[in-house]
Structure 1
Amino acid sequence: MRHGLISESQEADRFSEKQPLDVFKGTDHPDLEKGVAAISNVLKTLPMRPGVYRMYDSKGNILYVGKARALKNRVANYTQISGLSRRIQRMVSQTRSMTIVTTTTESEALLLEAQLIKRYRPPYNILLRDDKSFPYILLKEEGTFPQFPSLQRHRGVRRAKGHYYGPFASADSVTLTLNSLQKLFLLRSCSDSFFRNRKRPCLLYQIKRCSAPCVDRISDADYHDLVVDTRDFLAGKSTNVQQKLVSSMEQASDAQNYELAAVYRDRLRALTFIQNHQAINSGNLSNTDIFGVESRAGLVCIQVFFIRNRQNWGHHAYFLNHVDDQALPDVLQSFLGQFYEDKIAPKDILTNYIPSDTEVLEEALSSQRGYKVKFHQPQRGDLKKLLDNAVRNAKEAIERRLAEASTQQQLLKEMVDLFHLDKMPDRIEVYDNSHIMGTNMVGAMIVAGPEGFRRNSYRKFNIKSQTINPGDDFEMMREVLTRRFSRLERSDPDRSSGEWPDLLLVDGGKGQVRAVKEILAEQGISDVSIVGISKGPDRHAGREHFHLVDGSEYALPPNSGLLFYLQRLRDEAHRFAIGTHRARRAKNMTASPLDDVPGIGPTRKKALLLHFGTARDVKNASLPELEKVNGISSAIAQQIYDFFHNSPA
């Protein structure tokens, strides 16, 4: 149930961070008074129990998700205006209602808070921006051929039966390790359907990355031995595997079977490569995650290292948003709650800051995993060196981010001068179209800002209009922009969401710029800057011309940093448009006329194709012939017949 008051919308921009703190002191500000009143109304019914609270603005949008050991005490803090930071005062000024959920323990509240933050991504919470699932290596032991387990990469929900090893920091780490594991253990990596239909060994066997169990080039017993060796190695028992390979190589050499000895030698080299790559700084740790937290110039970076079975599975850097007035232990606690919401926490976690409410966090993670999870802040020895390495990496990541941001800011300033913009653009939208001779027409939009590409904001548009002439780029752009801005006008008429662009870049010259200006004018939009990018003489990259709505045209020196940046934007839009077009074309290539017949699902479609052979034969079949198909009733047969014979298609 939602508590509190609902009133008119208030613009968040009125409460800019640039405003002096005095504006928010006391409760004499009208919006602040309304927020405090809404919170005070909720306080009347709050219990002294653990739970989670959500704050909403006047439109019903979630502003913040928080957890508390005692809800009444925690929420009461928001009514003490003088003790709040400017950012939290602004949040209170926008609050018009709250939702309360009580829990049995504080650890349950912590887990629920993390789930809600990841689901709703409230603007006033510390957000874990990179929300990808980490890749794993899967030794899959189920399927049609369980006696021949496969070794493959895996990302997402762990439904398949088998052993999972990871997480790895990146797909590159998995690829590198998998390639070496294939050389070392020769386990298959193919699907069951591919395995079933092989008549001769595939290329992986030829390059000595598979033992070809599909065509009996290895016995079941020998393949089982390879599986056992793989499990031992990935479980950290690499010494046993190494000794076994050395012994086998010596035996083959003593028997003067030098070819086999060379095979074992190559496998030993692969083993040594993996050990050297993964043992960097791992020490004697078994299963441990290491978090190095560093803050500088308003940026907070958390560098994560993954140690599994005494092997280093790589590292990853996270940059957090909305942490301006947060202490680093609080930031770390919020981050860890979200980080481990869908990942397996190891027994030991090293950090250079002990997160706030450590006991609650340990209890929550331990209850999830079924074993004791413990945080450590080492002060000396090898563990301290490992932690210092993570912190140093976090510092270097921040330095790189600041250097990139400085360069990006300079480029945007140059863009303001070149294109006569009113302000430095915060949101740049780039549009492109793709088709082949007018088929599978798509439009694409990419978004960039001061921090780089915003891939979560990319959009694709399947061209729906049936009146567009094949390959008419102007009409395709008209449909894309009309759909884009009409939807934006409906969802955000007061332009407070940050989704409105400051600059539109289109692939084309004066004609495209003029057309885009007319399209926007038809929708009453005249304050968005438009720039066209066209290839220069001979269509050579590096000689692009830039066209403005006033008819002026510019070119940049071939070594200009701004030129390289604008080319990157144009090329990224082109890449995204082509990828979208290819995906649509591939889907259409596998489409069947039977897909459009009402009431025909995969089972009936399969029965029809098995009976007639092709979709064309189904289309040309008579009603009595359709009725003979297993699983097709007289009514369904009549429906299929009517669809093909009465439809305009």
Structure 2
Amino acid sequence: MSATHSDELLAQVAALPPLPGVYRYFDAQGVLLYVGKARNLKKRVSSYFAKQHGGTRIGHMVGKIARLETTVVRSEAEALLLENNLIKSLGPKYNILFRDDKSYPYLKITGVAEKDGEGDAPGQRYPRIAYYRGSVDKRHRYFGPYPGAWAVKETIQLLQKVFRLRTCEDTVFANRTRPCLLYQIKRCTAPCVGLISPEGYAGDVRSAEALLRGETQELLQELERRMLAHSERLEFELAAEVRNQITALSRVLHQQAVESVSDKDVDILAVKVAGGRACVNLAMVRGGRHLGDRAYFPVHVEDAAGVFQLEDQEEGAGAAQPDCPVEAQVLEAFMAQHYLGVPVPPTLITSLPVEQRLLEALSEQSGVRVTAVRQPREQRRAWLEMAQQNAEIQLARLLAEEGSQQARTRALAEALDLDAEDLDRFTIECFDISHTAGEATQASCVVFHHHKMQGSEYRRFKIDGITGGDDYAAMRQVLTRRYSKVAEAQREAGGAEVSDKRARLPDLVLVDGGKGQVSMAREVFTELGLDVSRIVGVEKGEGRKVGLEELVFADGREKVYLGRDSAALMLVAQIRDEAHRFAITGMRAARARARTGGSRLEDIPGVGPKKRARLLQRFGGVRGVADASVEDLATVEGISHGLAEEIYRALR
């Protein structure tokens, strides 16, 4: 195998130190192939080049290695954490990779002023509970993370029922002159108009926090003491309020008795592998309450399995058993990557044994001693069995959906007589134009490959310099802007394959329209010197009825009617509808900005996209930001008092 590699690379391998570290393999185009860790860099990396690997997956990978980078660290724990940081951020092909679709939500209780005085803002004296997603800070208290938004909202409703804490924004709270509907239905104590004292409200906040921490028995005892104290002071109305809290809380705890145990914070992890795909089902217990679960589907499982087997043989380490090495690898990859950005609870219940060095690394990173339970009993066992069943169900659903999508991709390629050697890489880009009577014209480009829509590759184009409502001119502009760089890259490559996928021509270019739009697309491709046979228009059928669409070709072929029940038509309709949805949402947002003056916020120096998004989310829109005080603006993450003053002046 070494004969296929440069002398420089082999000399670099020979000079590696026998120390713990992380190594990275790159191909000739600079694409990252693999990230690995080792307790002995020299021994581990040398093993890849010391033997023949044949036509295996690892053999294919080793044959592509053109460059090597290494980082020496102090311990195996550091190597493991660095390895998974790089995997998560760089996404190499031969590593198991878990992609986070979004951050976990939290329940937030806003910060309280250190002193309750006349100068304190009302919002500080009366904290609010809120759904929150994003980075946490020390100004507020956060509980979670929760597996999904529904779990947070369900918990907020519980706290409203029992402790009647406020959920309204500070701007709304500060301007109330009478109680809102939530007070009337006994979901809030109306602190906005002073119907509860700051001390009484603070007691409810403390009780809510105790419930969120799982201190239910201590909480009930404290409420009982408080009720008796009010009774002894002849404060019967206050005693009745506390009694109602005890009744509501007892009812909730009775309803959740099946899922509430002494465990306060636990994660349950179950793995299922089948059909070349894997599923990790993560269930969460927080404050003694089972909050539900969430499924994760890693990529590159098959490619990574061969590399894992070589490493396991070299070091003779690893928790993987001979009968389930892939499952163990998937589980440990998930734990190492997932808990980089999410707090790890002290107890993990797992369907497979976990390496001690991984637990030590997680403990070192979090500052909390983390233990894993492999064969749980009683309630923990029920949780694990439920997680395992859900992993099987979710994986079966994924395989069924992927099988259906693959069939649709194959059907479309066959219907259009396309020579698609690798259906996984078969790429479609679809364009649509949207506007309202010529106002705020937007073009959308959505991308399909690997049998699914690729949201991260979508693009929107703001169309300028055309007559309002001229869809043909809009299509010409968007296609020219999108593919002029592709044409330039192809000319520079001189017929060779372009390494940058963004500069490659897709296998199919769909335009939402008939002969007119297809003719415009053909003109653009002809001017750019691109293959016009890849352009296909989706023309509405008779009566514009769904299922009667016809495909129009730019290269002169006859129209094709695929049939109402055709799998190929289902795929075309799915992509066309997604392009239409994406264009519509972009157009509506642009129109709203134009009508509300939202661009003024964008023009303020120092307010970038992230700060603008935080402001809009906090105050519910540009008008809410304009109505906010300097003090309210300064409470937003990243907004200093000076910048808050600038925003306040600019929007007046």
Please report the TM-score for the alignment, with normalisation by the length of structure 1: 0.78
Aligned partner of 1:168 in structure 2 is 146
Aligned partner of 1:474 in structure 2 is 472
> d(CA) in 1 for partners of 2:130 and 2:524?
49
> d(CA) in 2 for partners of 1:338 and 1:434?
40
Aligned partner of 1:392 in structure 2 is 389
Aligned partner of 2:419 in structure 1 is 422
Shift, 1:267, TM fit: 9.2
Aligned partner of 1:579 in structure 2 is 585
SS at match of 1:127: coil
Q: Which runs of 4+ in 1 moved over 6 A?
A: 242-252, 260-267, 592-597, 599-602
SS at match of 2:146: coil
1:28-47 mapped onto 2 (5 Å cutoff): 33-34=4-5, 37-47=7-17
For the Cα contact (< 8 Å) 1:430–1:506, is it kept in 2? yes
SS at match of 1:159: coil
What amino acid does structure 2 have at the position aligned with 1:449? H
Q: Which range is displaced more, 510-519 or 525-534?
A: 525-534
Aligned partner of 1:351 in structure 2 is 350
Shift, 1:191, TM fit: 2.6
What amino acid does structure 1 have at the position aligned with 2:386? N
1:535-546 mapped onto 2 (5 Å cutoff): 535-546=540-551
Change beyond 3 A, Cα 1:27–1:55? closer
1:230-629 mapped onto 2 (5 Å cutoff): 230-239=208-217, 272=251, 276=255, 281=259, 283-324=261-302, 325=305, 326=308, 327-328=325-326, 329-355=328-354, 358-378=355-375, 381-423=378-420, 424=423, 426-463=426-463, 465-466=464-465, 468-489=466-487, 494-496=497-499, 500=504, 501-526=506-531, 529-549=534-554, 550=556, 552-555=558-561, 558=564, 563-591=569-597
Shift, 1:70, TM fit: 1.2
Structure 2: which 5+ runs fail to align?
A: 114-120, 309-324, 608-641, 643-652
Shift, 1:437, TM fit: 2.9
Q: Does 1:99 pair with 2:69? A: yes
For the Cα contact (< 8 Å) 2:522–2:532, is it kept in 1? no
Q: Does 1:198 pair with 2:176? A: yes
What amino acid does structure 1 have at the position aligned with 2:332? Q
Shift, 1:27, TM fit: 4.7
Give identity over the alignment, percent.
36
Change beyond 3 A, Cα 1:263–1:562? farther
Change beyond 3 A, Cα 1:176–1:538? farther
> d(CA) in 1 for partners of 2:79 and 2:296?
24
What amino acid does structure 1 have at the position aligned with 2:66? R
Deviations 1:327-375 (A, max 9, x none): 33233222211111111011111212223xx232122211122121112
> d(CA) in 2 for partners of 1:564 and 1:268?
54
> d(CA) in 2 for partners of 1:490 and 1:270?
68
> d(CA) in 1 for partners of 2:295 and 2:525?
40
For the Cα contact (< 8 Å) 1:502–1:528, is it kept in 2? no
Change beyond 3 A, Cα 1:366–1:594? closer
Aligned partner of 1:79 in structure 2 is 49
What amino acid does structure 1 have at the position aligned with 2:111? E
What amino acid does structure 2 have at the position aligned with 1:126? I
For the Cα contact (< 8 Å) 1:177–1:274, is it kept in 2? no
1:152-231 mapped onto 2 (5 Å cutoff): 152-231=130-209
Shift, 1:292, TM fit: 0.4
What amino acid does structure 1 have at the position aligned with 2:19? R
What amino acid does structure 2 have at the position aligned with 1:530? I
Cα-Cα RMSD: 3.7
What amino acid does structure 2 have at the position aligned with 1:64? Y
For the Cα contact (< 8 Å) 1:51–1:103, is it kept in 2? yes
What amino acid does structure 2 have at the position aligned with 1:162? H
> d(CA) in 1 for partners of 2:330 and 2:606?
50
Shift, 1:592, TM fit: 8.1
Change beyond 3 A, Cα 1:114–1:350? same
What amino acid does structure 2 have at the position aligned with 1:138? K
Deviations 1:513-557 (A, max 9, x none): 232233223222217633322333443444434333335334465
Aligned partner of 1:130 in structure 2 is 100
Change beyond 3 A, Cα 1:442–1:228? same
> d(CA) in 2 for partners of 1:570 and 1:162?
44
State the number of aligned residues: 566
What amino acid does structure 2 have at the position aligned with 1:411? R
Structure 1: which 5+ runs fail to align?
A: 1-25, 603-630, 632-649
Shift, 1:151, TM fit: 0.5
For the Cα contact (< 8 Å) 2:53–2:59, is it kept in 1? no
> d(CA) in 2 for partners of 1:507 and 1:74?
53
